[in-house]
Amino acid sequence: MKIAKDGFPFIAGFGVAGICFWFIAMPLGLILSLLAAICLYFFRDPYRNIMKSGRFVFSPADGKVMEIIEEKDKKIIRIFLSIFNVHIQRAPFSGSIRSIEYKPGKFLPAMDRNAHAVNEQNVFTIDTVYGEIQVMQIAGILARRIVSWVKAGDKVEAGQRIGIIKFGSQVDIILPAKIEVLVKLNEKVKGGTSIIACMNN
């Protein structure tokens, strides 16, 4: 299985330290080796068979739908990522990255109702043929680094990898109001393969 490049420093660091301490202080060496294995699992980047479609919006992340909000001019789907989920984010729809805005902030637990407003985050604004879509990478209590793999002006295809959040987090997707939401509260989704909404002509 492919491993995200952002995980290599953690895996190598804990792995080398684990080997060194194995012969000096076995309990510590065992703990460090276990941490290396955990990081190997956390930063996994599994292959996804991306469906080609011009109408479906795909989940930008693996996790569980924890809130669906319908407002007059937009619909918001909030996805909670536990430490057991793949933490790579993917483009929910094909388009062009208009901007990526980094917002420093707090590190409240991802399940906190205020996390989306006050936590550290990256906001991707994607221009599509159906209007603007935003994806928000939101740091959690354990997530202390959010990473973007694309930049403003880049063209993206639905399902393409766009970034990663390190260790526990939340991802929000903000859609135009005219889009039909197809997921339900507490439903488990996978980035790039789970259909969460449909564009209505």
Instruction: Mark whether 194 is an active-site residue.
Output: no
Q: List the beta bridge partners of residue 164.
A: 88, 147
Evaluate whether 165 touches 139 at the Cβ level (below 8 Å).
yes
Work out the end-to-end distance of the chain between its first and last CA atoms, rounded to an integer number of angstroms: 39
For the record, the structure tokens of 31 come out as 């703990």
Candidates 82, 96, 99, 169; catalytic one: 169
For the chain, the 3-state helix, strand and coil shares in percent, each to the nearest 5, are 20, 40, 40
- CA dist 39 to 5, 33, 44, 84, 149, Å? 12, 10, 8, 11, 20
Evaluate whether 55 touches 15 at the Cβ level (below 8 Å).
no
Strands laid side by side in the 180-181 sheet: 56-58, 195-198, 180-181
- CA dist 59 to 49, 108, 195, Å? 13, 23, 6
What residues are labeled active site? 169
